Amino acid sequence: MSDILKNMSAPPRSEVAFRQEQLKKYVAFNPLRLSRLLVESNYKDDLSKSTKQYVEDNPDIIKNIKKPTGYMIAEYVELTGDKYTKALNDKLDVYKYVECTDLELIILVLCSTVGDLYIPDRPLSFEKTKFNKVLLFAEEEVNS
C-alpha cells in the first residue's frame, strides 16, 4: 500500500488523450425554420401569434400528424436574434443533426414542451419563450 502512495506523488510518466464523440444523431426543431415556413404560408405576424393563428386555422394538425409518443429531453441552443448568425451556426455545429422541415411537426413539438422537456399529448401553448431556442432531440426518440 505504501508503494502505491509513493508512486502517486511521482511525476506522471504517461499521457492520456481522449476524444468526445456524439453517440446519437439529433433532429433540430428550429423556430427560425418555423418562421420561414409560416411566411411561406402567409403568416407574417409575431411568431407566437402566427403559430397560434395557424393552429386555429388548421385544427386537425394534432390528429393527422405522426408525433413522438414518449417524453423527450432536449439539448438546446438559445437564440439571440431572429435570423441565422455565425454564432448560432458555431453553436449548432457541435451537434450532428438534421433539421426538421415539417411545419406541423415543428409546431407540435415546440408548443408541447416545458423548458426543454417534450410532453406527449400536452395541450399546445404559445408563450413567446417557446420560440427562443433551437431544441435538439435524439432522432430515434422523435421517430418512435
Give per-residue pLDDT as tens, 54-108: 999 998 887 888 889 899 999 888 887 767 778 788 888 888 899 999 999 999 9
Task: Give exposure, 69-107, as e/b (b: 16+ Cβ within 10 Å).
Answer: eeebebbbbebeeeeeeeebeebbeeeebeebeebbbbb
pTM score, two decimals? Answer: 0.78
pLDDT band at 17 (very low <50, low <70, confident <90, very high): confident
pLDDT band at 122 (very low <50, low <70, confident <90, very high): very high
Among 56, 73, 83, residue whose Cα is nearest residue 109? 73
Q: Please state the rounded mean pLDDT for residues 24-31.
A: 91
Contact indicator for 19, 98 with CB cutoff of 8 Å: no
Among 50, 62, 61, residue whose Cα is nearest residue 121? 62
The CA distance from 106 to 102, in Å, is 6
Percent helix, percent strand, percent coil in the chain, to nearest 5? 40, 15, 45
Q: For residue 7, what pLDDT is reported?
A: 56
Q: In terms of pLDDT, which residue wins out, 143 or 50?
A: 50
Cell of 52: 397560434
Q: Indicate whether 119 pLDDT > 80.
A: yes
The CA distance from 130 to 125, in Å, is 8
